[in-house]
Amino acid sequence: MAGRMLLAGFGGQGILFAGKLFTYAGMLEGKNVTNIPEYGPEMRGGTCNCSVIIDEEPIGSPLVLEPDILIAMNLPSLDRFEKTAAPGAKIFVDSTLIGRKVLRDDVEAFYIPATGLASDAGIPKLANVIIVGKVIRETGICSMEIMDKVLEKVVPPTRAHLIAPNKKALEIGYEFA
C-alpha cells in the first residue's frame, strides 16, 4: 500500500530515525519514497517532525500536509497535527507521554505506551522503534521481513551491536495488542 506519513515528537526521541526506517523499507520494497524533515530553529532541541511518502507512483510534493498515518510522540505534536490528518487516517500515540485521547471521530487511534514498554524492556532509547513495529502491524505499510535489511542499511557497521535491540523493539511493537 501507499502511505503518506507524518512523524512528530521532541528532538532526541528518534523521530528522524523512525522516518528513515520506513523510507528505507519502501525503497527496498521497490517503491518510490521521499523523506523530508522540518528544519529550522526547531532542529535545536525543540520539536521535530518529518514527512515520509511511500508510493507506487512517482511522488510529487514530498511534504505531507494531510497524513494518512500520523505518529505523535509528544503532546505538542498531537495538538498540532491531529487536525491535519486525512479523514480515515491512523493516528499512533505514545500513551506514556500523552495523557489525552485523540479527539476526532473520523480517524482511527492507536495508543501504545511505547516509552514505558521501552523502559521496561531495558531499551529506553527505542520507544520510536516500538511504535514503528506497531505501525507496521496496523497499516501494512511495509513488511516485517524487510526490516532486517533496513536495519543493516540504517545501522552503521560500527554499531552493529544495536541491531539486536532494534529488532527486539520492532517485535514488542508488532506484538503489542
Partner 1 sequence: MADKVLVKGNEALGEAAIAAGCRFFFGYPITPQTELSEYMAKRMPKIGGTFLQAESEIAAINMVLGAASAGARAMTSSSSPGISLKGEGISYIAGSDLPAVIVNIQRGGPGLGGIQPSQSDYFQATKGGGHGDYHLIVLAPNSVQEIVSLTFDAFDLADLYRMPVMILGDGMLGQMMEPVVFPEHSERVLPEKTWATNTTKGLRKKNIINSLYIKPDVLEKINFERYARYAEVEKKEARFEGYLLEDAELVITAYGATSRISRNAVNALREKGIKAGLLRPITLWPFPKEAYQAAAKTAKAFLTVEMSMGQMIEDVRLAIDCARPVHFCGRTGGMIPTPGEIEAKAEEIARAF
Query: Which residues are near partner 1 by CB under 8 A?
Result: 20, 23-24, 27, 33-37, 39-40, 58-63, 65, 153
* Cβ atoms within 10 Å, residue 176: 17
> Which C-beta is closer to partner 1: that of 20 or that of 90?
20
> Which C-beta is closer to partner 1: that of 33 or that of 107?
33
3-state helix, strand, coil in the chain (%, to 5): 45, 20, 35
Question: In the bound complex, what is the minimum distance in angstroms from residue 36's beta carbon to partner 1?
Answer: 4
Hey, what's the cell of 145? 521481513
> Which C-beta is closer to partner 1: that of 34 or that of 166?
34
Question: In the bound complex, what is the minimum distance in angstroms from residue 161's beta carbon to partner 1?
Answer: 22
Question: In the bound complex, what is the minimum distance in angstroms from residue 162's beta carbon to partner 1?
Answer: 18
H or E stretch at 90: strand 90-94
> Which C-beta is closer to partner 1: that of 53 or that of 98?
53
Q: For residues 28 and 122, what is the distance between their CA atoms, to the nearest angstrom?
A: 30
Question: In the bound complex, what is the minimum distance in angstroms from residue 176's beta carbon to partner 1?
Answer: 28
Concatenated DSSP letters for 24-36?
Answer: HHHHHTT-EEEEE
